[in-house]
Structure 1
Amino acid sequence: MNLDRPVTPDPYPLLPEVPSFSVISDDVSDGQPLKDDQVNALGDTSPHLEWSGAPDGTQSFVVTCFDPDAPTPSGFWHWVAVDIPGDVTSLPTGAGADDSSLPGDAFHVRNDVGGHNFSGAAPPEGDQVHRYFFVVHAVGEPNLGVDADVSPAVVSFNLAFKTLGRAIIQGTYQH
């Protein structure tokens, strides 16, 4: 395996441009290494996220965690929580455990490990620093129009057309 590959681009500027809004976390400091709780073999716990300033017309949210630096052509999806009600402005630490941890009728879509939950950072040993983009997508519809059996790519495709705004906080991790 070539562990000295070039750094992949930040994927979000490559998407249709939308306004940004704010997201903060008690567990993730932007641009800093993730806590052990957010690492696969150590905690596997989704971080607290709190957002504000979503665009007018927001009716729901989708929360994702994506690692563009995974040694695959498509990166790696660690978390996809869909149809979070539009009046929700935070998720507590651990909300990615399962669907019952999410508010309202929100649910998880299968991550790239195959589970319907949050899967923590797990880059190959000795690989470059990986970036983990925790993103809150403001959606202009009460639901995204997908079910729990779709892939994260299908969620992303729908978000390309239904996202009103995006809030991003990025953690890093190297094994």
Structure 2
Amino acid sequence: MPGFTVMSNQFMGQLPKANVFDGMGAGGNNLSPDLTWKDAPSGTKSFLILVHDPDAPTPAGFTHWCAFNIPASVTSLPTGASSEGMPEGTIEGGNSYGTIGYGGACPPPGDAAHAYHLTLYALGTDTIDLPAGSPAEKVVFMATQHILGKTGLTAHYAR
């Protein structure tokens, strides 16, 4: 039986400039990646997306995106959904840039390629009762008791 999977035409291998940050000399478009998923576990009521860079030069790594309360009826997001409009009911948390929504890859120049882990969680609850801009750590903590399954992708980027 096929399992819960997420796919992307962008979030794989070396990230394209579309998914790279648009500041600090990174020169990207800062667009969230296209995503498509299938075979969510039975009982899924919503989804949570988290993009994290554990290779960032900080003790806790770097959170690039946290989006939650994505309705269970949603099975894909187009490129740029974070800035162009997420599905109705979706809330975006804060990222490590100090903003809300997607913040693209921006490793320090000269660093080896950083790994960017995208995790898609299937949740057995319709909503996580937190406001927009909530820290990803708090969102994941509140979601933990509702996780029915998870899947993910890893991409890399260096400049």
**So what's the TM-score if we normalise by structure 2?**
0.91
Q: 1:34 aligns with which of 12, 15, 19?
A: 15
Deviations 1:84-137 (A, max 9, x none): 001110111101116xx1111102111111111211100111112111111211
When structure 1 is superposed on structure 2, of 157-166 and 115-124 the one drifting more is 157-166
Equivalent residues of 1:133, 1:171 under 8 A apart: yes
> What's the secondary structure of 1:33's corresponding residue?
coil
Kindly provide the CA deviation profile for residues 122-168 of structure 1, in whole angstroms up to 9, marking residues without a partner as x: 01111121111112111100012222142111012123222111110
Q: Distance in 1 between matches of 2:58 and 2:75?
A: 33
- C-alpha contact 1:51 1:167 (8 A) present in aligned 2: no
**Structure 1 CA distance for aligned equivalents of residues 145 and 110 of structure 2:** 38
Unpaired runs of at least 5, structure 1:
1-19
2:107 to 112, 123, 140: 123
Matches within 5 A, 1:23-172: 23-29=6-12, 32-40=13-21, 41-97=27-83, 101-172=85-156
Q: In structure 2, what residue type is equivalent to 1:156? A: V
Distance 1:47 1:169 in 2: 11
1:60 touches 1:85 (CA, 8 Å); kept in 2? yes
Give 3-state SS (helix, strand or coil) of 1:137's partner.
strand
SS in 2 for 1:161: helix
TM-superposed CA distance for 1:66, in Å, is 0.7
Structure 2 runs not aligned, ≥5 long: 22-26
Distance 1:110 1:150 in 2: 5
- 2-structure distance, mates of 1:45, 1:104: 19
Moved more, 147-156 or 165-174: 147-156
TM-score by structure 1 length?
0.83
How far apart in 2 are the matches of 1:104 and 1:39? Answer: 25
Mean Cα deviation higher: 118-127 or 141-150: 141-150
* Letter aligned with residue 47 of structure 2: F
Separation (CA, whole Å) in 1 of partners of 2:45 and 2:111: 39
